[in-house]
């Protein structure tokens, strides 16, 4: 038995929120995309439009489909707009305090039967669920970046997640034409438990002078057949998100092998967060990305 989902709310209109809104609207869901400022919402709607327009150009969707999907997305800066949602997916900054605060704000507004999910990359689903008024109706629905392209969604239940919630999440993810993998509620789940230590090791390799940015990325692309180099991928994920995930692994598993590389910390301290801020291991402000080391 699962619950009927028609209206999907998304909290956080960053890289992931935009991608989730994109695929939900294409699958016919009515989407309310919430963030803190009107400027952010406007920029996000423009990004979604741009990404869909690219898919039209590449022959992946028709222009009518793009127009219909866009008409299904409404931007909002008012939490009250989430009152009629059947499912809300939290996709805000990877910071437990930010997420707890959001749940505190939105829970009183949501319908009692509404399901609540988080797109967290690493945080404990059980602990986040405990910060809501509905742990049985709460779980992790972890999309991959970029959402319109990546086939996988990890589903993660907290200790209190109900069977109906899990079944509904499965049906919902399948309706988006994504493939499900189920992970237990351990720090960073499956994908990031494996991927982030590899990225962190690539940053140590740079930090220790074993290779340059270009050498490391070329080595892993051509030597391990990865479609993207690890430093390029780190920039793509966002270096703040990478650091946050390493900190969750380090704190949660208490093993020094997860120690975040000091160079990653330094980049984040500088505000060099990767593609989204224009600079990370590469500088994206010119025509072509230029390595920063």
Q: How far is the CB of 57 from ligand NAD (least distance, A)?
A: 24
| Closer to ligand NAD by Cβ: residue 98 or 228 | 98
154 an active-site residue? Answer: yes
Select from 237, 243, 246, 248 the one that contacts ligand NAD (CB under 6 A): 237
Identify the active-site residue in 121, 122, 200, 244.
121
Identify the active-site residue in 44, 192, 200, 244.
192
Q: Is 26 in the site for ligand NAD (CB under 6 A)?
A: no
| Contact region with ligand NAD (CB under 6 A), list: 2-10, 15-23, 171-179, 258-266 | 15-23
Q: Is 85 in the site for ligand NAD (CB under 6 A)?
A: no
| Contact region with ligand NAD (CB under 6 A), list: 94-102, 126-134, 176-184, 246-254 | 94-102
CA angle 196, 198, 203 (to 5 degrees): 95
| Contact region with ligand NAD (CB under 6 A), list: 200-208, 235-243, 246-254, 278-286 | 235-243
Q: Is 23 in the site for ligand NAD (CB under 6 A)?
A: no
How far is 20 from 223, CA to CA, in rounded Å? 33
| Closer to ligand NAD by Cβ: residue 35 or 185 | 35
Q: How far is CA 182 from the centre of its chain?
A: 17
Q: Is 11 in the site for ligand NAD (CB under 6 A)?
A: yes
Is 12 annotated to bind ligand?
yes
Q: Is 94 in the site for ligand NAD (CB under 6 A)?
A: yes
- Contacting residues toward ligand NAD, per CB under 6 A: 11-17, 35-36, 40, 91-94, 98, 101-102, 119-121, 142-145, 237-238, 241, 276
- Residues with catalytic roles: 121, 142, 154, 192
């Amino acid at each position: 038995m699962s619950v009927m989902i028609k209206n999907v709310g998304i909290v956080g209109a960053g890289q992931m929120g935009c991608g989730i809104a994109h695929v939900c609207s294409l699958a016919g869901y009515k989407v309310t995309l919430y963030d803190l400022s009107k400027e952010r919402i406007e920029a996000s709607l423009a990004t979604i439009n741009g990404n869909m327009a690219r898919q039209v150009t590449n022959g992946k969707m028709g222009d009518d489909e793009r127009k219909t999907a866009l008409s299904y997305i409404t931007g909002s800066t008012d939490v009250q707009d989430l009152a009629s949602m059947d499912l809300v997916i939290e996709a805000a900054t990877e910071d437990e305090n930010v997420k707890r605060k959001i749940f505190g704000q939105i829970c009183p507004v949501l319908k009692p039967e509404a399901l609540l999910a988080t797109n967290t990359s690493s945080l404990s689903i059980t602990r986040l669920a405990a910060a809501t008024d509905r742990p049985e109706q709460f779980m992790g629905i972890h999309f991959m970046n970029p959402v319109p392209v990546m086939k996988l969604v990890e589903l993660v239940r907290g200790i209190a997640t109900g069977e109906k919630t899990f079944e509904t999440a499965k049906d919902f993810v399948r309706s988006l034409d994504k493939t499900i993998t189920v992970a237990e509620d351990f720090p960073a789940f499956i994908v990031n438990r494996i991927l982030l230590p590899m990225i962190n090791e690539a940053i140590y390799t740079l930090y220790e002078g074993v290779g340059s940015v270009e050498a490391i990325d070329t080595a892993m692309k051509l030597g391990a057949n990865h479609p993207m180099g690890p430093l390029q991928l780190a920039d793509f994920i966002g270096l703040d998100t990478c650091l946050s995930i390493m900190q969750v692994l380090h704190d949660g598993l208490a093993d020094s092998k997860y120690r975040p590389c000091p160079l990653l910390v330094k980049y984040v301290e500088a505000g060099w967060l990767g593609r989204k801020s224009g600079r990370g291991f590469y500088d994206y402000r010119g025509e072509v990305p230029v390595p920063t080391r």
